[in-house]
């Protein structure tokens, strides 16, 4: 089977982790009889600084035909955040109805997480984050009625489609995993958006009688991530709460550098997009020490999404074996002294 993948390496360490991971992924694909055709798009902040736009006007159309999109990272010290966010990432996630952001957290053997009481495999959950709306809606403004009376307004919008799609994806995942779903909201303080969310969830819950639903407020959930992370399996949350929980999830699993992410259109009408959770990290760009594992694990998610389960498992097994080996190279974020290239080369030797 041949797959056409659009690569958008992006900013900062984005190109580094994509370029280091590619030989590993290609070797694994080869071994599984999977043929991978990549096309590279040099979109991102450098393009914005040179031409005034992160991607071309017909960017979405160019991406539409691919089987999947792989993104490195976006974000640049000289480009306003809302430009890097809205000019590329949100353009794609919204344009392609990638309502579902799926982010697993897993504490691997050989990685020392910050939590005293939890060891390998004891942190193993997946957050389903709403990916296209909610608190990230571009709604709001400021009213200047004299300096002392200025007010600012920020709006959040929740649609039936956007909410139902993420909630249903989470229920599907819960029924395939342990049959338990944790719904994270702040319905006690936010009586419109979050109560709507709860109502949609209650409606869909009726279709999944075997899934047990736990309800948690986002403050309590954050605390429980450090107190009882082993009790979570599948969580579902809004865009903002999912953002917070998945960074925290990466934190308790040892490093942001290990965390993978996927942006999925479950209807498969549009290509889905895969990327590591970490950002462009300009502080280490060019030093060759970015951890390529979050990227490799994002490729795992990509292949699983495309139905190439054996290939997905192979990539994961290589990562697992490397991390468990105390003599293997590792990058500084997980306590090692090696560079991205040494880690990637070592991963290749662990394939098949």
Smallest gap, in angstroms, from Cβ of residue 279 to ligand IPM? 6
Measure the CA–CA gap between 293 and 320, rounded to whole angstroms: 10
* Residue recorded with tokens 């571009």: 138
Subset of residues 84 to 103 that bind its own copies, contact rule: CB under 8 A: 84-85
Q: Per CB under 6 A, does 219 bind ligand IPM?
A: yes
85 sits near ligand IPM (criterion: CB under 6 A): yes
> Three-class SS string for 34-91?
CEEEEEECCCCHHHHHHHCCCCCCCHHHHHCCCCEEEEEECCCCCCCHHHHHHHHHHH
Which residue in 227, 226, 239, 199 sits closest to 215, CA to CA?
199
Between residues 61 and 199, which has the closer beta carbon with respect to its own copies? 199
Strand order across the beta sheet in which 68-73 lies: 35-40, 2-10, 68-73, 272-276, 260-264, 100-106, 124-130, 234-237, 180-185, 212-217
Partner from ligand IPM, its own copies, none contacting 207, C-beta within 5 to 8 A by type: none
DSSP assignments along 187-233, one per residue: TTT-TTHHHHHHHHHHHHHTT-TTSEEEEEEHHHHHHHHHH-GGG-S
Residue 337 CA to residue 308 CA, distance in Å, equals 33
Answer yes or no whether residue 135 interacts with ligand IPM by CB under 6 A. Answer: no
Joined tokens for residue 101: 């952001």
Cα distances (angstroms) measured from residue 345 to each of 215, 342, 348? 44, 5, 5
> Which of 16, 19, 233, 243 lies at the binding interface for ligand IPM (CB under 6 A)?
243
39-78 footprint of ligand IPM as x/- string (CB under 6 A): ------------------------------------x---
- Does 204 bind its own copies (CB under 8 A)? Our answer is no
Task: Quote the CA–CA distance of 135 and 334 in Å, as a whole number.
Answer: 32
Binding status of residue 147 toward its own copies by CB under 8 A: yes
Is 350:321 a contact under the CB 8 Å cutoff?
yes
Based on the shown chain and the rule CB under 8 A, indicate whether residue 227 belongs to the binding site for its own copies: yes
Q: Count of residues binding ligand IPM (CB under 6 A)?
A: 7
> Rounded to whole angstroms, how far apart are CA atoms 296 and 27?
12
Closer residue to its own copies in complex, CB, 3/282: 282
Site string for its own copies, 249-268 (x = CB under 8 A): -xxx---x------------
**Binding segment for its own copies among 17-25, 45-53, 107-115, 300-308 (CB under 8 A)?**
107-115
Half-sphere exposure of residue 160, counting CA atoms within 13 Å on the CB side? 2
Piece in contact with its own copies (CB under 8 A), picked from 18-26, 61-69, 149-157, 289-297: 149-157
User: How near is the Cβ of 188 to ligand IPM at its closest, in Å?
Assistant: 5
Q: Which of the choices ligand IPM, its own copies, none does residue 1 contact, using the CB cut-off of 5 to 8 A by kind?
A: none
The residues binding ligand IPM (CB under 6 A) are 75, 85, 188-189, 219, 243, 279
The residues binding its own copies (CB under 8 A) are 81-82, 84-85, 112-117, 135-136, 138-142, 147-161, 186-197, 218-220, 222-227, 239-240, 243-244, 246-248, 250-252, 256
């Amino acid at each position: 089977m041949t797959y056409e993948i659009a690569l958008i390496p992006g900013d900062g360490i984005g190109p580094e982790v994509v370029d280091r991971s590619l030989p590993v992924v290609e070797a694994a694909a080869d071994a599984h009889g999977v043929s991978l055709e990549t096309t590279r798009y040099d979109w991102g902040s450098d393009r914005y600084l040179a031409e005034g736009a992160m991607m071309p006007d017909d960017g979405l159309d160019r991406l539409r035909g691919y089987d999947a999109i792989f993104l490195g990272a976006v974000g640049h010290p000289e480009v306003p955040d809302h430009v890097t966010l809205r000019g590329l990432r949100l353009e794609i996630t919204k344009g392609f109805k990638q309502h579902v952001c799926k982010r697993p957290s897993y504490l691997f053997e050989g990685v020392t997480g910050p939590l005293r009481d939890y060891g390998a495999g004891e942190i193993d959950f997946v957050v389903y984050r709403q990916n296209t709306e909610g608190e990230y809606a571009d709604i709001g403004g400021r009213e200047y009625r004299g300096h002392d009376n200025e007010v600012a307004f920020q709006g959040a919008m929740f649609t039936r489609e956007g909410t139902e799609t993420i909630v249903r994806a989470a229920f599907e995942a819960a029924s395939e995993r342990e049959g338990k779903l944790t719904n994270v909201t702040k319905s006690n303080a936010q009586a419109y958006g979050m109560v709507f969310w709860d109502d949609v969830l209650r409606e869909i819950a009726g279709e999944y009688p075997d899934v047990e639903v736990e309800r948690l407020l986002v403050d309590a959930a954050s605390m429980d991530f450090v107190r009882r992370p082993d009790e979570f399996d599948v969580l579902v949350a809004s865009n903002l709460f999912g953002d917070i929980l998945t960074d925290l999830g990466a934190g308790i699993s040892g490093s942001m550098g290990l965390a993978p992410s996927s942006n999925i259109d479950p209807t498969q009408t549009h290509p889905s997009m895969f990327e590591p959770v970490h950002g462009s990290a300009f502080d280490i760009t060019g030093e060759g020490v970015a951890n390529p594992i979050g990227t490799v694990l994002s490729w795992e998610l990509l292949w699983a999404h495309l139905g190439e389960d054996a290939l997905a498992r192979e990539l994961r097994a290589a990562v697992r074996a490397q991390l468990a080996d105390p003599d293997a190279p590792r990058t500084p974020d997980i306590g090692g002294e090696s560079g991205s290239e040494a880690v990637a080369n070592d991963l290749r030797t662990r394939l098949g």
